[in-house]
Amino acid sequence: MFANRLLADRTIFLTGGGTGLGRSMALHFAELGARIFLFARREPPLRETAEEIRRRGGQAAYATGDVRHPEVVEAAVEAAWNAFGRVDTLVNNAAGNFLARTETLSANAFAAVVGIVLHGSFHCTQALGRRWIAAGTPGVVLNILTSYVETGSAYVVPSACAKAGVLAMTRSLAIEWAPYRIRFHAIAPGPFPTEGAWSRLMPTREFEERARNFHPLKRFGRHEELTHLAVYLLSPMAEYLNGECIILDGGLWLRGAGQFNALTELPAAVWQQLEAARKK
Ligand code: COA
């Protein structure tokens, strides 16, 4: 779909790239020639992803640390700069989430998720944005949100609040930093199976089956469906797109919205009866 080496002149700082969708994006970006700097808390998955990129002929480096701490983010951005000479692209992908009844949450549980998602995205965006502005060079920021970013969702209140905050930041900075040629994109993914998300957000097999059946396409997302969109957004083809959030969920959130959407379950025979009655 994309020209070989489409991202060849790019250096991408990607948070949380050791596992899940972050790993899939890192591998796809590297395959198209980008240099990848990964930043997350656990070393073994980062090492594995970086080794896999190098094994396939790409360039990758990483730093371990927690996005919640601005000084740690600053040091990681510095390390990325030293490793590759510059960074021109940021992907805020690191996240924290779990299912919980909100009345049972501790203050620290709320702070942990908001700290990773909202504060972490802010720290990374500011650390790179400051450098781009000082150097007078353009930049691209891609924020990975969630399909409930506009609606909120029961049982994931810290994540819903934090992701809504990142969307507000996306739209705000799209304008504020446009004069510096720094553009902002967001993808709001629906259900994409990953070990991290499934172990935290899919309580039982039966619930997974119900979720699949409720989906208009009767399936979950494939990682390449997200990574292709991410590549497009980072590429020069998307230079006129700024501050937009693309919901990538196969229509799942709309499925919950339309009053008569559940009628997709209505058997054809019932439709035929209704149509026959109308003709009488
Ligand atoms: N339900 C309710 N509270 C929870 C919880 C759960 N499932 N998991 C953690 N918490 C609470 C902890 O009890 C703690 O609060 P306390 O100090 O009042 O007891 C607080 O959250 C922080 O937990 P801790 O494990 O110390 O923090 P952490 O910073 O290491 O972990 C999380 C952050 C909680 C987001 C953890 O789930 C995590 O590391 N997630 C990373 C991966 C991830 O979530 N990816 C998203 C995939 S969709």
Strands 182-189 and 89-92: unpaired
Atom of ligand 1 nearest to the CA of 109: 21
116 pLDDT higher than 90: yes
Residue 1 has a pLDDT of: 82
The atom number, within ligand 1, closest to the CA of 201 reads: 48
Sign, Cα dihedral of 42, 17, 244, 221: negative
Token pair of 73, please?
Answer: 């983010």
Residues 25-38 have pLDDT tens digits of 999 999 999 999 99
**d(CA 69, ligand 1 centre) in Å:** 16
Residue 97 banded pLDDT, cuts 50, 70, 90: very high
Cα-to-centroid distance, 263 and ligand 1 (Å): 39
Mean pLDDT across 243-265: 95
| Cα–Cα distance for residue pair 230/173, rounded to 1 Å | 19
Residue with CA nearest ligand 1 atom 46: 96
Give nearest CA residue, ligand 1 atom 10: 109
Q: Which structure tokens are listed for 47?
A: 């090492």
Q: Write the pLDDT tens digit of every residue in 143-173.
A: 999 999 999 999 999 999 999 999 999 999 9
DSSP code for 117: I
| pLDDT score at 196 | 92
The pLDDT assigned to 162 comes to: 98
Interval between CA 42 and ligand 1 midpoint (Å) = 15
pLDDT at 136 over 90: yes
Statement: residue 279 has pLDDT above 90: no
Tell me which residues are annotated as active site: 148
Cβ neighbours of residue 37 closer than 8 Å, sequence gap 6 or more: 11, 12, 13, 14, 60, 61, 62, 63, 76, 79, 80, 83, 84, 87
Q: What is the pLDDT of residues 167-197, one digit of tens each?
A: 999 999 999 999 999 999 999 999 999 999 9
Residue 280 has pLDDT above 90, yes or no: no
What mean pLDDT, rounded, does the chain reach? 97
66-85 pLDDT per residue, tens: 999 999 999 999 999 999 99
Atom of ligand 1 nearest to the CA of 197: 48
Residues with CB under 6 A from ligand 1: 95-98, 100, 105-106, 108-109, 112-113, 116, 196-197, 200-201
- Please give the distance, rounded to the nearest whole angstrom, from the Cα atom of residue 155 to the centre of ligand 1: 14
Residue-level pLDDT at 202? 93
